[in-house]
Structure 1
């Protein structure tokens, strides 16, 4: 599965990234990580297509069950019409037709219930797999990315504070230099 390979690539980037001494922070190429995330997004439609296939398969099974149900009903009706010719046979035929209808309806219900159970088990399994993938890979990936961004922001803030401190010291040093006196200005002229 291509998504898993891409997630492993992100793990490798994080594992092999250069670290900042004594901070536990690492430096990674954000463009490279973003490109991998884009590739993961491109691969996800395959998983969605599998879910669509399951939905289509469910609809096909239900349609097939409905067709079988209607065929059995039609067959029972034909048998009942043929037996109408004789009154004694007609009574027996009606009883038999009613029995066939009950059997047919029970069979159709059982087929529907079996279909629903089958589809539910497939969807449940797929849902479990998606939750497992999400909890293992996406949680770690987004946590790692979020940590990387937090580390970068912290480093930038520390650098800005250092620059502000240096500017302040430079300003203070400039204020300590005495202003040129009038005599030194005349000597310069």
Structure 2
């Protein structure tokens, strides 16, 4: 079950629960609500684990790139030792090593930014869904409160009418 379905189910439980008379409260099964919350919590970490995996992959790629750059640098050092008289070769090797390191750093930055954007988008979506559910819940709660108020007013009016009729009957008996 995904988080949205679990939140909808939780909303349904609240909507269909027994109402406490003369209040805006409902009675819900503590165990059932806690079970749903536990399921929601177990669902959320999966999405967070995915984003953590992306961040770890970024680190791995950066480390691999640094290792590759180190490897290339060592190879270039060996080449330099063999061709010490060729100064241009040395300069090219250093430039190539710098270029590879810069490329690796840029790639790592891009992966990190992508991961952060993914997490940001995911959290924004969750926030929007929670906001929507809260708005729906508040609207339902307001409607139920208004309905309850009308019912209570009607009940009181009926009781007052009965009392007036009883008073009239008592006065006629005298």
Tell me what 1:174 maps to. Answer: none
Q: Which residue of 1 aligns with 2:77?
A: 77
Question: TM-score, normalising length from structure 2?
Answer: 0.65
Structure 2 stretches lacking a partner, 5+ long: 149-174
C-alpha distance in structure 2 between counterparts of 1:36 and 1:64, whole Å = 42
Aligned residues of 1:62 and 1:115 also touching (Cα < 8 A): yes
Please tell me whether residue 29 in structure 1 is matched to residue 28 in structure 2.
yes
Q: What's the CA shift string for 1:50-101, capped at 9, x where partnerless?
A: 23212211111011000110111111111111113xxxxx0xx222211221
Residue 30 of structure 1: CA displacement? 4.5
The total of aligned residue pairs comes to 142
* Deviation per residue, 1:142-161 (Å, 9 max, x gap): 9949x97xx9xxx9xxxxxx
Listed one character per residue, the Cα deviations across residues 161-184 of structure 1 (whole Å, up to 9, x for unaligned) are: xxxxxxxxxxxxxxxxxxxxxxxx
Any unmatched runs of 5+ in structure 1? 85-89, 156-189
Q: Distance in 1 between matches of 2:9 and 2:77?
A: 65
* Counterparts of residues 87-166 of structure 1 (less than 5 Å): 90=85, 93-137=86-130, 140-141=133-134, 144=137
Assess if the C-alpha contact under 8 Å between 2:6 and 2:40 holds in 1: yes
With the length of structure 1 as denominator, give the TM-score of the two structures: 0.60
Please name the residue that 1:2 is paired with: 2
Root-mean-square deviation (CA, aligned residues, Å) is 3.5
